[in-house]
Every structure is written in C-alpha cells, then in structure tokens.
Chain A
C-alpha cells in the first residue's frame, strides 16, 4: 500500500549516490527482498517507472532478487525453508524458530553510467 512512497525514498537514495559519484545516469538498481519484508513486489515494480521519471534513474532497470524464507530451529538446531504463514521447523515441528533469511528489504547495489 505504501510501495510508491518507499519507491520514492529509494529513488532519492539512488540519486544521492549517483550525484556523489558524478554519474550521468543510473543504469540499474539491484534490490534484495524477502517474503517477510512487508513489501509487495508487483506494486514496487509498478511504482518504479513513475517514481523515477524525471530523475537520474529514469529509464533504469530495477532488478529484484528474492531472498528465500528460512528459519533456524532452537529445539533441533536445523535450518528449514518455510512459507510465510508457517514458520515452524520442518524437521521437528517446533515453533521455537528464528527467521534467518526472508525479512530483507535491501538496496544491494547501483550501476551508474559515469562517462
């Protein structure tokens, strides 16, 4: 629901990096997002061209890498791959788990055109 404003903040962050490197344009932006980030990827992808219009990031490629959802079990110590609404251990069924991957909402890297 707030993907547009998050996208605007992302563009501001990317523009700042582009300016500090004296870039002419932004070529691509790479994100890493997990299923428990609270962000809807299609909405973010949809908002990107609108939020970047008229900025150094206009026309750039948004690449989103999906982080897998994994928990570590405190009972048996094993890692398992899980679904967002069932974060219990796949091995022993315990609900004493900790999410080790899947909450990411990261700007990983930016590719700039500098000459």
Chain B
C-alpha cells in the first residue's frame, strides 16, 4: 500500500476517500505524522537485531540520575557483558566523557537545542559507532519528560527514571512518558529518609492509574541500593531477546537442496 493513490482505503475510512469535485481533489492519506521516524526506527532495530544487542532507551527529567545509573551498571557488569552507550543528553556535555572513563565506548550525539532524540539521529550515530561484540547498548535520551517518548528510536525497551527529589505525581503529569516505560526506576532512593514529601507508594499508584503494569524499582546508584533488582531485570531482558532471536532464526525456512541446484542452473 502506498499513501498517495488511495489504495489504503477500506470500508471504514471511505468517507475520507479520493473524490475529485470541480477542480478540487480530496486525497485520503491515513498516515501517522511520525511515520518517517517510525520507518527509520524499524531500520535501526534491524541493525540492533543483526548484532544480537539489547538496546535500552533511558528517559527522565534532567538530572534524575541517568548517567549515574549507567556508571553503576557498567561497574557491576563490566566482567560479564560488553556495554556501549549513545549519549544524547545535552544537559551535561561531559556524559560521554564520564562513560568512557569507565572503560566503555560512548558516542556523543550533538543534539543542539533538540528536545528529544529521533531515529535519524540514532541511525547516524550507529554508523559511526562500532556495535560489533556489544551485548547491551544504552541510549541516554535528552532530559525531558515531554517528547522523547513520542519518538521511537528502534530500542527494545524503555526505562523511565523518576528521582525521589521530584514529585511523586509525575506519572499523572506526564502520562505519555510514563505509559511508554517498560520499567520505572525511582532513583536517588538513598535520599528518601530525608524527603518527607515523596511517597514511593503514591508514585506507584499514580503509575497504575495510567493502566501501566511496568515493574517499579526503588534504587540508588550512588549508594548501590537495590541495584541487583535492576540488573536482574536487565539481564533477564537480554536473555529473552537472545532467545527470541535464536528462535526466529530457527523458524526461517531453510532452502531445499533442489531449489539450490535450480538456482545454480543445474537443472535447466
């Protein structure tokens, strides 16, 4: 189906269909406004799958602790998994430097004044950044709870961080962002004892009110609290992803000997 000739018209949308009337032509389109981005994201996902990577998109408001979480995650997994990071956060320019200091490859996307990463920016980065041999690729998105969630980058999982220094009603205020989360991390939980206005249960209720069933983990990257729960989730996702890729390969039709010989012209 293309989007210009009207071949995507169905009985349900016929009322919008192509109807030329004296010099005017109505063309039914029915295409998502972010279709270009979504196509590019699908292409990115193929790159990731080809390299058997798990790609994780980290989103939060500025300063919620995305880079600190990456540092702690790298330290914990260093001996077992190879990690790469694409940095898109403009708040702190030195995020990529912080990651490289941990001995992990990092590519900094210069987003200028962009308020989110899009699939094209990530694709440009992919072709400049070696994916070979990586197990997990993190993408640190622009610190912003408004629009990053609307732009698919080709990631497999979305992680949304909510630091306990923010309001516990953030999910209600940013439903698009929190609904996109596959897991929500309540970060800087070491500060909970000194903050009496952040109630983790209220934060979780606010998330459940959005119909989200995403797991919620309270953790502290700085004090290494509950990092294990986060790492378990992450490794679980990697294992699942690899299992799925393997079974996808198994169900692909294998060329039969006969068709191979006919391809080489032996039977002609």
Q: Mark B210-228, 1 if CB is under 8 A from A, else 0.
A: 1111000000000000000
Point out the residues of chain A lying under 8 angstroms from B150, CB to CB.
Answer: 2, 37-39, 105
Contact B23 A115, beta carbon cutoff 8 Å: yes
* Count of residues in B whose CB is under 8 Å from the partner chain: 38
Q: Is the interface of A mostly helix, strand, loop or mixed?
A: mixed
* Count of residues in A whose CB is under 8 Å from the partner chain: 40
Point out the residues of chain A lying under 8 angstroms from B36, CB to CB.
Answer: 9, 13
Contact A87 B209, beta carbon cutoff 8 Å: yes
Q: Is B149's beta carbon under 8 Å from chain A?
A: yes
Contact A105 B34, beta carbon cutoff 8 Å: yes
B215 CB, min distance to chain A CBs, angstroms: 14
Contact B211 A110, beta carbon cutoff 8 Å: no
Contact A105 B33, beta carbon cutoff 8 Å: yes
Q: Is B125's beta carbon under 8 Å from chain A?
A: no
Contact B213 A109, beta carbon cutoff 8 Å: no
Partner of B147, one of A2, A16, A87: A2
Q: Mark A86-113, 1 if CB is under 8 A from B, else 0.
A: 1110000001111100000111111111
Q: Is B52's beta carbon under 8 Å from chain A?
A: no
Q: Is A6's beta carbon under 8 Å from chain B?
A: yes
Report Cα–Cα, A104/B208, bound state, in Å. 22
Point out the residues of chain B lying under 8 angstroms from A13, CB to CB.
Answer: 29, 31, 33, 35-36
Most chain B CB within 10 A, of A37, A107, A115, is at A107
Contact A9 B33, beta carbon cutoff 8 Å: yes
B172 CB, min distance to chain A CBs, angstroms: 4
A59 CB, min distance to chain B CBs, angstroms: 15
Indicate whether A111 sits within 8 Å of B175 (C-beta atoms), given known contacts A2-B116, A88-B209. Answer: no
Point out the residues of chain A lying under 8 angstroms from B114, CB to CB.
Answer: 2
Point out the residues of chain B lying under 8 angstroms from A21, CB to CB.
Answer: 4, 25, 27
Report Cα–Cα, A105/B32, bound state, in Å. 6
Point out the residues of chain B lying under 8 angstroms from A96, CB to CB.
Answer: 211, 213
Complex A-B, nearest 9 residue pairs according to Cβ-Cβ distance, in ascending order: A38-B150, A85-B172, A115-B23, A87-B211, A1-B115, A97-B211, A38-B176, A109-B16, A112-B25
A87-B209, A108-B28, A112-B27 known; 14 new pairs, CB 8 Å cut-off, are: A17-B29, A20-B4, A27-B24, A36-B175, A38-B150, A86-B172, A96-B213, A98-B211, A105-B34, A108-B16, A109-B26, A113-B24, A114-B20, A114-B24
B interface residues with partner A (beta carbon < 8 Å): 3-4, 16, 20, 23-36, 114-116, 144, 146-147, 149-150, 171-173, 175-176, 179, 208-213
> 16 interchain pairs (CB within 8 A)?
A13-B31, A13-B33, A17-B27, A17-B29, A20-B4, A21-B25, A38-B147, A84-B175, A85-B172, A87-B210, A88-B208, A96-B213, A105-B32, A107-B29, A111-B27, A112-B25
A interface residues with partner B (beta carbon < 8 Å): 1-2, 6, 9-10, 13, 16-17, 20-21, 23, 27, 30-31, 36-39, 71, 84-88, 95-99, 105-115
